[in-house]
């Protein structure tokens, strides 16, 4: 079955420190992978996506993620965290079924807190 696991429910980092949020997926075909961010009271905003090609993808707000097929992982990274990055982060997997589907399967999320 298709699934996404985010092992860390809550992470706290100091402002200026580096960040890595983990994501592992289980998917039968070539996955499309996404990271979304949700600020309190807001909807989900796309940070970055991977479809094919270069396994290191750059996103908005200085985030990047690396696709590792051998590890079924798509970890999100940022070299220096800002206080405004405090939010909940969701990893998601989807696929192309010739356009017949497009729904994404989401992990349970990782809540990021940033210490001053």
56-95: which residues touch another protein (CB under 8 A)? 90, 94-95
Nearest to 10 by CA among 22, 2, 27: 22
Query: In the numeric block, which tokens belong to residue 58?
Result: 């750059």
Which residue's CB is nearer to another protein, number 28 or number 116? 28
Looking up tokens 């969701």, which residue turns up? 90
Other C-beta atoms lying within 10 Å of the C-beta of residue 8 = 15
Among 45, 58, 80, 113, binds another protein (CB under 8 A): 45
Determine the Cα–Cα distance for residues 2 and 8; give it in Å rounded to an integer. 19
**Min. distance of Cβ 102 from another protein in angstroms?**
4
Looking up tokens 């696991």, which residue turns up? 5
Query: In the numeric block, which tokens belong to residue 74?
Result: 């798509």
**Min. distance of Cβ 41 from another protein in angstroms?**
8
40 is a site residue for another protein (CB under 8 A): no
Among 13-21, 41-49, 60-68, 69-77, the segment contacting another protein (CB under 8 A): 41-49
32 is a site residue for another protein (CB under 8 A): yes
11 is a site residue for another protein (CB under 8 A): no
Nearest to 22 by CA among 79, 65, 52: 65
State the residues that interact with another protein by CB under 8 A: 32, 34, 36, 41-46, 49, 51, 90, 94-109
């Amino acid at each position: 079955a298709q699934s996404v696991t985010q092992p860390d429910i809550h992470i706290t980092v100091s402002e200026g420190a580096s960040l890595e949020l983990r994501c592992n997926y289980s998917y039968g075909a070539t996955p499309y992978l996404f990271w979304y961010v949700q600020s309190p009271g807001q909807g989900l905003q796309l940070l970055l996506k991977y479809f094919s090609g270069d396994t290191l993808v750059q996103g908005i707000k200085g985030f990047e993620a690396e696709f590792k097929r051998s590890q079924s992982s798509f970890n999100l990274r940022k070299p220096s965290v800002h206080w405004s990055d405090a939010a909940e982060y969701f990893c998601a997997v989807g696929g192309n079924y010739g356009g017949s589907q497009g729904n994404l399967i989401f992990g349970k999320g990782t809540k990021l807190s940033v210490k001053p």
